[in-house]
Amino acid sequence: MSLSYLPDSAHPRVAVDPAVPAEDRRALRENQDVLTPATSPVPGRLHVLLGGSVVRLIRKYHGRYIVAADLDPDAKILLCRAQEAIDTVLESEVNKAGLLDGIDNALTLPAEEWEIAQTLMTHSRMREEQRRLRASDLTPMEKSRFAPQREALRRSVAAVTERVEALEKYAASTAAADAVYRREQLRNLPPPDNSAEILELEQRNEAYEELLARTVAHELAAERIEELAEDASEIESALRHAADAARRVGDTSTP
């Protein structure tokens, strides 16, 4: 199902031909926001003279990298999915430890990404061709002559989607293996030596004993304050009763 009606929110990173030297691949990724799309004309010599090293890099490798602008929304989403799966594998602990069945992921996965990106760029161009064909003034009979083109595109999209899904399954299996690996690593760690911390805490016992003594003093003081409050309340009550009695005596003695 096409996702081209959705907001264009997928932003895959630049895909680079793995045959490009590593230093130049890194430079292309660092400048991916200013790279000329592979589907646009290569910068001219004047631009190279005025633009410096980045433009020279673009001119040298134009067509050997693919940026988001080269892809339609459907293709961007698939490339993002592929890149996320590849990153999951390459960044996993089991991959770094060389435990993934001897597969050289550092070589094979960048090649996978590049092949997928190239095909997705072709899909994007052909979907646009088919869109223009549907909107053309050709008769339905004339348009039907190009049904094999649509079928070829459909089958290719399905094949690339399956390839991306296979990468995602590989990434999920890698993530599961990673969880087990990390758990075993933690289990095999030697117990931490906490003797210095324990000694330091034991040396603080005296301070806590002093705190407890002050706490008892606070509790005793609180009890004493409560007793004083009760005494004050009793005195207040006695004075009130005495005043009332005096008023009553005064009232009875008045002629």
Residues present in the chain in total: 255
Choose between 113 and 230: higher pLDDT.
113
Rg (CA), the chain: 40
> What are residue 15's DSSP bridge partners?
66
- The answer to whether 76 touches 8, Cβ cutoff 8 Å, is yes
Summarised one tens digit per residue, pLDDT across range 167-188 is 999 999 999 988 888 888 877 7
Q: How far is CA 126 from the centre of its chain?
A: 33
Alpha carbon distance 17, 166 (integer Å): 21
Question: What's the whole-number mean pLDDT along residues 14-25?
Answer: 95
Mean pLDDT, the chain, as a whole number?
79
Domain boundaries, the chain: 15-187, 198-253
Q: Which residue has the higher pLDDT, 214 or 211?
A: 211
Measure the CA–CA gap between 106 and 111, rounded to whole angstroms: 9
Does pLDDT of 26 surpass 90? yes
Residue where the block lists tokens 């910068």: 43
- Tell me the whole-structure pTM to 2 decimals: 0.68
pLDDT at residue 22 greater than cutoff 90:
yes
Q: What is the pLDDT of residues 87-127, one digit of tens each?
A: 999 999 888 888 876 568 888 899 999 999 999 999 999 99
Average pLDDT score over residue span 51-69: 87
Residue with the bigger pLDDT between 75 and 189: it is: 75
